[in-house]
Amino acid sequence: MQTAKKVYTQNPSGKDNGWLMELYKQGEKTLAYLTAIYPKAFKGFHLHRVRTSNYVCLRGIIKITLWEFNKNGVVGRMWEQEEHILHSGEKLDIPTNIAIGLKNIGEEEAWLVNMPNPAYDPDLKDEQVEYSESDLLHGIIK
C-alpha cells in the first residue's frame, strides 16, 4: 500500500488556501489529482502551455475564471475574461494557454478533480506559468 502525496497550498500572500492530492500516478507522471479549496479561498492564476485541464467538481461550488489571450487585437483588451460556476457533478475542459483562477464561492471545502492531458510531468519545468490578476489586466504575456 502507498500513501497519496498531499501538498498544502498558499496564495501569493502566504495565506493557506487549500491542498492538492495525487490520486493516480504512472511512474513519475500524475494522471489525476484532487484540488481542495477552502471556503471563500482563491487559487490562481496559472496557465498551462502543454496540458489541458479536465475538471470535475466533486464537492462545493467553484467559480472558475478563465483569461484567454485576445489574438484579434481588440484595442485595450489583451486578455478576454470568461467565468464558469461548477457545482458538484459538473465538469469543464480547459484548453492550453488559458489562464485559470479557482474561487470557492461556497461555505464548505470544495473539491475539484483534474485529469490533465497529457499527464503532469515534473520534468516539464516551464509548462505551468503563474500570473497575477494585475498581469492579466495589464496585458502581460509570460
CATH number at residue 64: 2.60.120.10
In a domain, 51, yes or no: yes
Per-residue pLDDT of the chain (142 residues; tens, 9 = 90+): 778 899 999 998 899 999 999 999 999 999 999 999 999 999 999 999 999 999 999 999 999 999 998 766 555 567 889 999 999 999 999 999 999 999 999 999 999 999 999 999 989 888 999 999 999 988 888 8
Q: All 3 cell numbers of residue 92?
A: 469543464
The per-residue pLDDT for 3 is 84
Report pTM: 0.91
Question: What CA–CA distance (Å, rounded) separates 68 from 77?
Answer: 10
In a domain, 47, yes or no: yes
- Per the structure, the count of domains in the chain is 1
The per-residue pLDDT for 62 is 98
The per-residue pLDDT for 2 is 78
In a domain, 75, yes or no: yes
In a domain, 95, yes or no: yes
Helix (H, G, I), strand (E, B), or coil: what is residue 131? coil
Question: What CA–CA distance (Å, rounded) separates 97 from 48?
Answer: 6
Helix (H, G, I), strand (E, B), or coil: what is residue 80? strand
Please name which of 3, 5, 45 lies closest in space to residue 29, comparing C-alpha atoms: 5
Beta strand segments in 15-59, E: 16-26, 29-37, 42-48, 53-59
Domain containing 88 equals 6-137
| Structural Rg of the chain based on CA atoms | 15
In a domain, 33, yes or no: yes
Q: What is the DSSP letter of 136?
A: H
Report the first-to-last Cα separation within the chain, whole angstroms. Answer: 41
In a domain, 1, yes or no: no
In a domain, 142, yes or no: no
CA distances from 55 to 15, 127, 139, 140 (A): 24, 18, 26, 26
Cell numbers 497519496 label which residue? 4
The per-residue pLDDT for 141 is 86
